[in-house]
Amino acid sequence: ALEGLAKFSHLINFDTVVDLLGVLKGLLKNIDILPLDASLNCMLAAFQTLQGPGSELQIDQKEYVSPLYSQLPRLITEGSDSEYTELALKCLNNAFIRRKEYSMVRVAAFVKQICSVSLHAPPFTSAPLLAFVRQLLHKYPFVAQLLENEQDVVTSGTYTPDVEDPEHTNPFATSAWQLGTLKFHVNPNVIQHARGAGAGKMLILPAEDPTRIRSQLIRDSNECYIGIRISKKNHPLHQSSRKDKKKQRQVIRFITPRSTME
Per-residue pLDDT tens for 145-168? 999 876 666 667 889 999 989 999
The kind and range of the H/E element at 89 are helix 82-92
pLDDT at 240 > cutoff 60: no
How much is the pTM? Answer: 0.82
Alpha-carbon Rg for the chain in angstroms: 26
Per-residue pLDDT tens for 176-232? 999 999 999 988 999 999 999 999 898 888 888 998 998 888 888 888 777 766 666
- Between 9 and 97, whose confidence is greater? 97
Average pLDDT over residues 67-74: 93
CA distance 110 to 90: 15
- Between 259 and 205, whose confidence is greater? 205
pLDDT at 68 > cutoff 90: yes
pLDDT at 242 > cutoff 70: no
Q: For position 221, what pLDDT does the model report?
A: 81
CA distance 246 to 53: 79
Provide the percentage of residues in the chain whose pLDDT is more than 90: 42
DSSP assignment of 9-73 equals GGGS-GGGHHHHHHHHHHHHHTTTTS-HHHHHHHHHHHHHHHHTTTGGG---THHHHHHHHHHTT
Q: For position 157, what pLDDT does the model report?
A: 83
